[in-house]
Every structure is written in structure tokens, then in C-alpha cells.
Structure 1
């Protein structure tokens, strides 16, 4: 065999091996955990999967769920999952406790949450200032609904000893807690909120589903739903991170170019059950809360830090580098 033949043979082997490595790398399983996959605020996670955008990007992604974002966060820290679709505020909270995670793409511009008061108590509970001594429902202790509830109560002049918070998750467990009088008020998202409002069992106390409502209650923008991942994982998997962001940005574009009814048709029936019309109406009303491009609002991180510093001792006493809690690099690349 002459040298030219040997070189040609080696080149063929190298190309074959390169293709094999690329195949293996593309097939590497990435698990993304969602803090309540059927919550309206996290719709882009399941929608990206249903639209096939992960596969189109050459990714092997599993979307799994936990009832609350704080539980999903724990799974990520333990290494059981690679990323979380949850609230951006967790990136700040975790950094203040020594864990570096980073938001790669912003999915919602507002929390998408609503503080509901039971209809039976609505006559004497008109604002958060009327909640002293009451039992308040949150998704879980340490969750973003916990953070937001604490902030609203602090703004009303109360300390943590002036009210009680209990974990009631979302969906049927939240609804049951309100129906059984376990909670006088609570913070939740659609479609849970939509169901209680439609039945007349609850009234709105504070609405964080719109930008105007969010700014009025929280003093500025509060970017919420995002994809965040361990900073070390992102640095070691930059190609995969870029593909994930491109897939999510495509979904955001899709959401702003299609009707709520068209989007709902793509979802599993378990998302809306026998309340498809109610789910569709809620989505139609609050589609504007979803980002159109995945970018972080300019003053969003500073406002989230300000809020958390008000209620979280570890955030208040420590130093948080906001530049390490999110990046626009992959969103910029997706735009190009």
C-alpha cells in the first residue's frame, strides 16, 4: 500500500469516526425539569417539544416536571437534570448561596402569577394590608410564589410573624385548599386561577400577569420564566446550549404568530381536561406576557435583585454579580 492510499484510508476512517462522535454528541440526553409543566407560564417548554424544535436542532431532550420550581432547582443542583424552566429569581438566590447558575433565554416578561382571595373573604380582604393573621397559599416554601408573597406582605408593613404561608402546589391541590378554607388567599398561575375565577370562588387581589400590574405591585419589571442551567454545564456544552436557546426562540416566535386556539391544539389534552375553552381564553388574554425574542428586559435583573434583597437575608448580606445570572450571548446568536 503506498502512502497516498494510506492517507486516503486514514481520511476515510477519520471522517467516519468524526461522524460517529457527532452522532453520539447530538444524541446526548438533556433533561429539562419544569416547575409545573402544565402551568401556562411555562408553556414554551412543552410547546418546543411538541413542535419538534429540539429534534430539529439535533438535540435529545426530555421535558419532565416537578410541582414547584424550588423542587426542580434541587434536582438540578443534585445533577439529576441539566436544566430548569423556572423563575429567573432563582439564579440570584442560588448565587447568593454559592451556587452558580445562569439564565440562557427569557420566556416571560412578567411573573404570570395572581394573588387570589377566597370569594367568601373578599368582602373584608381588599388589599394585601388586609391579610394580617391569615393563612396564605404558595406553590412551595422557598419557591418564587413564596418570594413574591413575602414581598407583597413586606410592602404592606408586615413581618413574617404576621401571617402564615403553607405549600399547596397548584391545580387541584390549590383549588381544594381554597374550597376547604385551608387558605384565605394564595398565589397561583393559570389555568388554576382561571378556573377559580370562572367559578366565582375567588377574586383577584394582585395581578402579576400583565406588565402594568407587575410594575404597579413590584415597582418595576420582573422577568420570570426562563431556562436556567449550571454555569459549568453551559461552559462545557456551549454548542448544546446554543441549540437549546435557538429552539426556545423559535417557539416564542411561533407563539406570537399563531392564535391561542392553534397553540392549544398542539398540547396534550391533559393540560386542559374538560376546560379547553377556559384554557384557550386564558392563554389568549395573556399571550403578551411571553417574550417575543427571549431577551432579558434591561432593568429586570436589578429589580429582581432589589426585591429579593428586601426579603432574603442571604441576598441582602451578600454580593450578587448580576452579569453572571444571565447571558444574552445565545439569544443574540439565535437572532443572527
Structure 2
């Protein structure tokens, strides 16, 4: 006996037929369970990652992600190189640094269009600070040695003729430990992300001397657009897992789209309570300061890679611009598709 096709059944069958090509277009995930390494997840630098995780955007793409939080980006990179992470949420410039060491890693979705890093001097140990020369021989707190906070400090100091070896870098993380380090006088200056830097600035603990938390400040420090937080992975991993990387890019761009219209109360409700560092008002003041630095659509800006290469080469002898193939350090292929999907 032939089954009866009711109007409801016909509608469901027709809907399935229309949806099928879309599902096929994305393809089956090559790897659904993923290990992601990040250095300082509570920082605004990685807010899009937290938003996409908290709102279930990874799950809705069929991904089961385990996010391991390290003290700084250099440690997260180590996890990737040691094969304990599949993907890193980290600073784009690591892709250039690693290519200089003959390691092929590539960015595939951008979360930040400015580094959101500020350098401030302690009002306690350097009350009479006059210029960068005063930092020679001093202790400077960074999230972790070798991380993007360290890179920005190196860049700013190099412009005053101060080498990395002329100061002592101290890893202080991006949370409560960083606040304690400056307030207790353990360090003389701090190069770090928000909300930490805004909290220290508003309480009078530091005097900001260099700032990349805004697009204007970034232009002044770097001379162009400076790509920041992103997802990067081994180039082979991206080549072998295109559908998985597309799903990751989709989740992040979905989060970026949400952030474009999110209000302060939406942010407070979504991030873990511990991220507020005990002060909601200051956390929101920090968010308002860095908001424009958050990416809009996951795409790498055309001049961004050149700006990053120029900055790195100015203080990192191992990075020779003529030996770096920037086209291999990033791809907009996945972000472009995600942008179209979410109309970001």
C-alpha cells in the first residue's frame, strides 16, 4: 500500500529538499572535537571567543570545543607546537614569527582589528617619570614573555633605542595577579590588555604612555591597521580540515555579529562573573574603551599583514621582511563565507 502524502508531509519534504544543498555545501566536519589554546581568555582581546562559547555558537556548528587557558599567547603557541592543541586563539603576529623559524601556521578568522594593549608606568615606583629612557633597567609586567603584550612593549621601547635586554620582563597574566603586581610595587611598568589596564588607569595606579586600545592609537603606534586576536593553526591542519575550520570561522563571525549590537548589560549577563574582577562599572568602562577594536566580520584587512611585519622586523632580528611570504600567513577564505552566511 502506497503511503498517503498529506499536505504537512509534502511541506516537510519540500523544506528538506531546499535545505539539503546548503548542508552539502558546508560538508561534514572532519573533526568535531577540538582542543583550543588561548592565552588570557578573560581579556577583552578574546571577548569574541568567550561570546561564541557562552552563547553556544560552537555547538550550533556541530563542534565540541575544549578551551585551555594559559598565562599568555606564547604559552598557547607552545601548546600548538607540542600538539596538545589543534587551534590557537592568539595574536596574528605569531604566524609571521613562526614562518621566520620555518614553521607553517596560518590565520583563518580575525577577532580583533587593534591590539587593545596599553603600556603604563607605575605611579608608585616611577612617580617622576619623564620619558621612555626612565624605563631602562626597570621591571616591566607583560601577560607572558614572548606574547603580544611583550611585542608591543618591545616596539615602543625600541623607538627610544632601548633593547629588550635593557629591561626585565615579568609574566603577570591578564587578571587579578597583574593588578597585584603593579599595586604591590613588584614591577615598574605594565604592558597589558583590558580590563586590567583601564582598572589600573582609573584607580591612578598607572600613567598610560602608549595605547593601542583604539583604532586611532593603533595607527599612531604602528602606522597602519594592526590585526590582533585571531584563530590560527598549522597550515596542514587547515588544508586537511576545511569544513571544521569553516565551522570555527562561522562560530566566531556569529559572535562578532552579536557583539555589534550588544549593550553593556548583554555583555555582563554573558561573560563569567570572574571576568569582571570584582568591579562591574570599571569592566564596562573598559569595554566601551576597546569596543571599536573588536573585529566586525572576521576578515583580515588588506594592509594589516604588512603593518605587522614592519612592526616585528623593527625589533626582531630573526624576522627578515624579504624572506617572509605574507600570503601564507593568513587566509580570508573561511571568514568570507562566514561573513556572507551571517551578513556581518
TM value normalised by structure 2: 0.86
Q: Deviations over 1:229-283 (max 9, x none)?
A: 1111111100010111011111101000111221221111121142122212211
CA-atom RMSD, angstroms? 2.0
1:194 aligns with 2:192: no
Preserved contact between residue 310 and residue 316 of structure 1 (Cα < 8 Å): no
Aligned residues: 315
- Name 2:256's counterpart in structure 1: 252
Give the stretch that moved more between structures: 196-205 or 322-331. 196-205
Compared CA separation, residues 276 and 154, structure 1 to 2 (3 A):
same
Preserved contact between residue 220 and residue 303 of structure 1 (Cα < 8 Å): yes
Matched residues in 2 for 1:105 and 1:119: separation?
Answer: 38
- Name 1:142's counterpart in structure 2: 146
| Deviation of the 1:182 alpha carbon | 2.1
**Match for residue 32 of structure 1 among 36, 40, 50:** 36
Compared CA separation, residues 214 and 127, structure 1 to 2 (3 A):
farther
| Deviation of the 1:181 alpha carbon | 1.8
Matches within 5 A, 1:303-318: 303-316=307-320
**Match for residue 49 of structure 1 among 22, 35, 53:** 53
**Match for residue 85 of structure 1 among 83, 86, 89:** 89
SS of equivalent residue, structure 2 residue 323: coil
Preserved contact between residue 104 and residue 330 of structure 1 (Cα < 8 Å): yes
- Name 1:10's counterpart in structure 2: none
**Match for residue 174 of structure 2 among 137, 146, 170:** 170
**Match for residue 265 of structure 1 among 261, 269, 279:** 269
Preserved contact between residue 106 and residue 329 of structure 2 (Cα < 8 Å): yes
SS of equivalent residue, structure 2 residue 239: helix
Preserved contact between residue 41 and residue 69 of structure 2 (Cα < 8 Å): yes
Matches within 5 A, 1:118-267: 118-121=122-125, 123-267=127-271
**Match for residue 69 of structure 1 among 61, 67, 73:** 73
Unmatched runs of 5 consecutive residues or more in structure 1: 1-21
SS of equivalent residue, structure 1 residue 333: helix
Preserved contact between residue 120 and residue 191 of structure 2 (Cα < 8 Å): yes
| Deviation of the 1:90 alpha carbon | 0.4
Unmatched runs of 5 consecutive residues or more in structure 2: 1-25
Preserved contact between residue 199 and residue 286 of structure 2 (Cα < 8 Å): no
Matched residues in 1 for 2:154 and 2:337: separation?
Answer: 37
| Deviation of the 1:23 alpha carbon | 12
Matched residues in 2 for 1:115 and 1:241: separation?
Answer: 34
TM value normalised by structure 1: 0.88
Give the stretch that moved more between structures: 170-179 or 75-84. 170-179
Preserved contact between residue 308 and residue 316 of structure 1 (Cα < 8 Å): no
Preserved contact between residue 215 and residue 225 of structure 2 (Cα < 8 Å): yes
Matched residues in 1 for 2:57 and 2:321: separation?
Answer: 42
